[in-house]
Each structure stands twice: as C-alpha cells, then as structure tokens.
Amino acid sequence: MIVGVGIDVCPVERFAESLRRTPGLRNRLFTPAEQVTPSGAPRTGESLAARFAAKEALAKALGAPGDLHWHDAEVTVGEHGRPLLAVRGTVAARAAQLGVTAWHVSLSHDGGIASAVVIAERDS
C-alpha cells in the first residue's frame, strides 16, 4: 500500500552555483558517501542536484514534516547503479510512524533540470 509519493525538480546550474557560493552547504546537505561516486570521484552538479531533489521528494512523501535532518536520508547506489534510500534518525522515526516498510526512488537529469520521485510503501 502506498503511504506517500513525493516529486521534486531542481535546476542544476542554480544548485551548483549555490554549492560554489556557500562552501559548507555540500557538507550540510550530503553525507560524505553521497558526495562521491562508488569509484571515489567527486559527484557532478547534476548528480548532487538529483540527490537533493530525492531528499526533498522523500520529505514530501512523508507529509513534509519540518523536523527532518538532511543526513538522516542518504541516497546510495545499488546493483547496476540503481538509486536506493537509506534512512535513519528523524527520517526513520517519521517513516515508522507512518508504517513505511519500503522505498522506491527514481532520479533523472536532463536539459539542466534534475528530478526525483520517491514512493513510500507499507505492507498491506
């Protein structure tokens, strides 16, 4: 059963400029693992913008409570590069309140826009 669906879009260049203008922003929004690819190379602005969109979409899927912490939701990479969500702390607590047992996430970036869709699901 679907508990919530969230979608978000993020203009890549505007987001990349925010990261350049505010040096600490990258560390506030993303865990160290999110900031690099599986090979250890720094992620591109497109990739980071898509991960930011995923965190925003996740919050929307949970009803957009204002007390979620950025590092409590982490976009990881699964088999064949598939994006996955790892949640802990404030995000895990809200998900538990809603009975969320599974996450589905899709990321995309094209034409200067990054987007993400997150579906929160619970067993029926």
Residues of each annotated binding site for Mg(2+): 8, 56
Beta strands, E only, the chain = 2-11, 73-77, 83-87, 102-110, 113-121
Angle at 31 between CA 80 and CA 33, to 5 degrees: 40
Residues at the annotated binding site? 8, 56
Joined tokens for residue 40: 């250890």
Region of 89 on the Ramachandran plot (φ > 0 left; ψ -120 to 50 alpha; else beta):
left
DSSP letter, residue 90: H
